[in-house]
Amino acid sequence: MVSDSITNASIHAAPNNNNAARDVGKKKRARSAKLKQCKLDVRREQWLSQGAVKNKDCKAEQNGVVEERKDRNNRHPFGNLGMRPGGGENDGSIHHHHHHDSDLDSNSPNSLTSSVLGSNYSETNFTGSSSSSSSSSSSSSSSGGCCSGNITEDDEGGGDDGCLDDWEAVADALAANEKPKNPCLESPPEHDPIAQSGSPQETTIGSDGPSFGVENSKSQCARTIPKASGNGLAWRPDDAFRPQSLPNLAKQVSLPNSNRKHYGCGGVPWAYSGVVSAPSTCPICYEDLDFTDTSFLPCLCGFRLCLFCHKRILEEDSRCPGCRKPYEHDPVEAEASVHGGSLTFRLPRSCSLITRS
Amino acid sequence: MAAVNQDNTLVVATTTAPSNSKQSQPRAKTVDSQSVLKRLQSELMALMMSGDSGISAFPEEDNIFCWKGTIIGSKDTVFEGTEYRLSLTFPNDYPFKPPKVKFETLCFHPNVDLVGNICLDILQDKWSSAYDVRTILLSIQSLLGEPNISSPLNNQAAQLWSNQDDYRKMVEKLYKSPKA
């Protein structure tokens, strides 16, 4: 019913030689690809944020998530500044649009035009808000649902060969999604040293860093890791006489990571990214790491293990299995304070889930 | 998660106890052996999945704490084409303590004595609980081609090492295939 009314709107508007309406119609066509992309975005976001919905409000309020926001194409700042009011407008205009639609059949061409304008206005508005925000705040996802419905009707109303066009739009949207993301991901300079620092353990920390969501810990990681790579090797300089072909501990530790990605995926969906970047089982006892364990980084070399194996090692020789250096107690305490509340590190995880999708 | 916590608290309880030795021993042993069991089973899986060439290991029939391993001499070494059988015995506090690894096949090597004891630092003071059967066997395999001449267990082998051709002849002469 609504789609019919829109078809009527576009068809009737043209014979009326109403320039505004025609322009609007053209714009509409030109934007249809963009709109579809938005629709895709919104649906994807909805789908992805299902797991994160519960935590949204807290997330928006967290001031420490600056890094997250940079990573996320500046979505969150927009989401905070413009999204709430924008979302409100969207809802308003969309409802407005719907109301006019329902009135269309009986109304004059003028009102048709205005309703088309109105609908287009709402679309434009939505385009802006969705591309800039794509955030997972509840207002955006609810308005997203509304808009996506609206857009679907528009497509049908436009008389396009919907099926083919949809697939093209999917391809377009995917391509358009790829392009803006890449420069943004590369742009933050603090990512580069981590990415280039080579050893799999370091990248583990590096990629886990943003998921902590606290700028301090993140920058700390970035600073301390290169240092650690110098002397945090499995073989110390005094081991130089050893055959070079001996297996390296770093390699050994990294192996389980890649193997267990799929395993971790099935377990707890919203912790997916955390599981990917850190081993999901303790390399010592092979028990599953819980969230306290995965956020526990006892040694600068990046070797992770469960709290119980760590405690046991502390009671015996107190050396890190990864680098054989005596454990220092400072990093442990720092970690503990950062991750005092379980909420603190749950939220960034769900954030980073969206980033990496 | 609850199961892990429960299990781990038990481990903690027992690891603080060893000073009482005798009384707490049975309980400590069962909990420890459970965690060792899990670790060894996981290692076996990983080893079978890894598909490393030239090394293999499998538990003995009735005791997962005793494994038999085989190492094939690497290419371009004097041990090329020879196969050696080893025994690995895991302590109850493995992997916090290293397993005892011995050659069961006679191995003419500077760092292996006549009864098969191996002088390899990672099996002694350089042990790390992050090592496993796979890395041990790979380490021994590379030790074959790159012995530490400065602290030999087999002096004759250490002296002969400089002459690789003669050494190869000696290896062939002394070698008895474990399959034979």
Q: Within 13 Å, how many C-alpha atoms sit on residue A110's CB side?
A: 0
Residue B38 within any structural domain of the chain: yes
Q: Which residues is A282 bridged to in the sheet?
A: none
Report pLDDT digits (tens) over B92-123.
Answer: 998 999 999 999 999 999 999 999 999 999 99
Residue B25 within any structural domain of the chain: no
Q: Do A247 and B129 touch (CB under 8 A)?
A: no
SS3 call for B57: strand
Q: Do B135 and A243 touch (CB under 8 A)?
A: no
Q: How far apart are CA A335 and CA A339, in angstroms?
A: 6
Q: Among partner residues B7, B35, B142, which is closest to A246 by beta-carbon distance?
A: B142
Nearest CA in chain B to A305: B130
Nearest CA in chain A to B140: A246
Residue A39 binned pLDDT confidence (cut-offs 50, 70, 90): low
Q: Specify the number of domains making up chain B.
A: 1
Is B129 an 8 Å CB contact of chain A?
yes
Contacts of A308-315 with CB under 8 Å at 24 or more apart are: A308/B8, A308/B11, A308/B12, A309/A282, A309/A284, A309/A285, A309/B129, A311/B12, A311/B15, A312/B11, A312/B12, A312/B15, A312/B96, A313/A284, A313/B96, A313/B129, A315/B15, A315/B16
Q: Within 13 Å, how many C-alpha atoms sit on residue B89's CB side?
A: 5
Please give the model's pTM, rounded to 2 decimal places. Answer: 0.44
All residues of chain B having their beta carbon less than 8 Å from the beta carbon of residue A296 are none
Structure tokens at B102: 């011995």
Q: How far apart are CA A45 and CA A73, in angstroms?
A: 14
Residue B96 within any structural domain of the chain: yes
Residues of B with catalytic annotation?
119
Q: How far apart are CA A328 and CA A265, in angstroms?
A: 33
Report pLDDT digits (tens) over A83-121.
Answer: 444 433 444 333 444 444 444 444 444 444 344 444 444
Q: Among partner residues A242, A315, A322, which is closest to B15 by beta-carbon distance?
A: A315
Q: What is the CATH number of the domain that holds B63?
A: 3.10.110.10
Is B8 an 8 Å CB contact of chain A?
yes
Domains of chain A: 2-165 (no CATH), 270-356 (3.30.40)
Q: Tell whether the torsion through CA atoms of A248, B120, B86 and B54 is positive or negative.
A: positive
Domain that holds residue B119: 33-176
Is pLDDT larger for residue A44 or for residue A270? Answer: A44
Structure tokens at A327: 């454990």
Q: Which of A227-236, A243-252, B9-18, B124-133 has the highest mean pLDDT?
A: B124-133
Q: Do B146 and A245 touch (CB under 8 A)?
A: yes
Residue B21 Cα, gap to closest chain A Cα (Å): 16
Q: CA torsion, points A35, A40, A41, A45, in degrees to nearest 10?
A: 140
Nearest CA in chain B to A259: B46
Q: Which residues is B59 bridged to in the sheet?
A: B67
